[in-house]
Amino acid sequence: MTQLDKKINQLNNLIVINAATEKVYLDAFETTKDSELKHFFKTRAFQRSEFCRFLACEIRRLGGEPVLTDEAESQLKKGLPDLTKVLASKNIRAVFAEISALKKSCLVHYNLILQNFDFSQNMKQLLEYQKQAISTSINTLSLRENLRAIS
């Protein structure tokens, strides 16, 4: 497998991760009754959809084809939380903990790809932007959790 093929494969993995995460958020959006959480989940799902779109464009630019296989998705989803169970418990701390764990897992994938592959400056900026957006949402989530704990 050439370096280019490996790069395309890793970008496809990011598409799978983001698509699976988007699905988790959409499922949580459908399950929760809390309007603030609904907004949070809907916004994050849209963000992950956009990440997939940009990654697919880069894969095509590199001469590859974006692939979202059922096998790859099921492998990666094994590590993703089922927020519907946590939401059903109505334990907001548990919800925030699961979302935070999900985001941290995604950041690990981004860091590995950025450390192990050389990308064009534009692609590196895109991956850093996506990574930063995920990180920022973790901080926002932590702040919301702390504010809820105080009130």
Return the pLDDT at 148: 60
Instruction: Using a pLDDT cut of 90, give the percent of the chain over it.
Output: 32
Among candidates 85, 75, 80, which has minimal Cα distance to 23?
A: 80
What is the distance of C-alpha 12 from the center of its chain?
A: 13
The predicted-structure confidence for 119-129, as pLDDT tens digits, reads as follows 889 889 999 99
Burial class (CB in 10 A: 0-12, 13-18, 19+), 114: middle
Q: What are the chain's domains?
A: 3-150 (1.20.1260.10)
Q: At 54, is the pLDDT very low, low, confident or very high (cuts 50, 70, 90)?
A: very high
Statement: residue 47 has pLDDT above 90:
yes
Return the pLDDT at 73: 60
Contact 88, 58 (CB under 8 A): no
**CA–CA dist 62, 87 (Å, integer):** 40
The predicted-structure confidence for 65-110, as pLDDT tens digits, reads as follows 998 766 656 655 565 666 667 777 777 777 778 888 888 888 998 9
Statement: residue 4 has pLDDT above 70:
yes
* Average pLDDT in the chain: 82
Sequence-separated contacts (24+) of 52-59 with Cβ below 8 Å:
52/15, 52/18, 52/19, 52/22, 54/126, 54/130, 55/11, 55/14, 55/15, 55/18, 55/126, 56/15, 58/11, 58/123, 58/126, 59/8, 59/11, 59/12, 59/15
45-49, 51-55, 56-60, 72-76 — which is least confidently predicted?
72-76
Return the pLDDT at 90: 72
Contact 44, 137 (CB under 8 A): yes
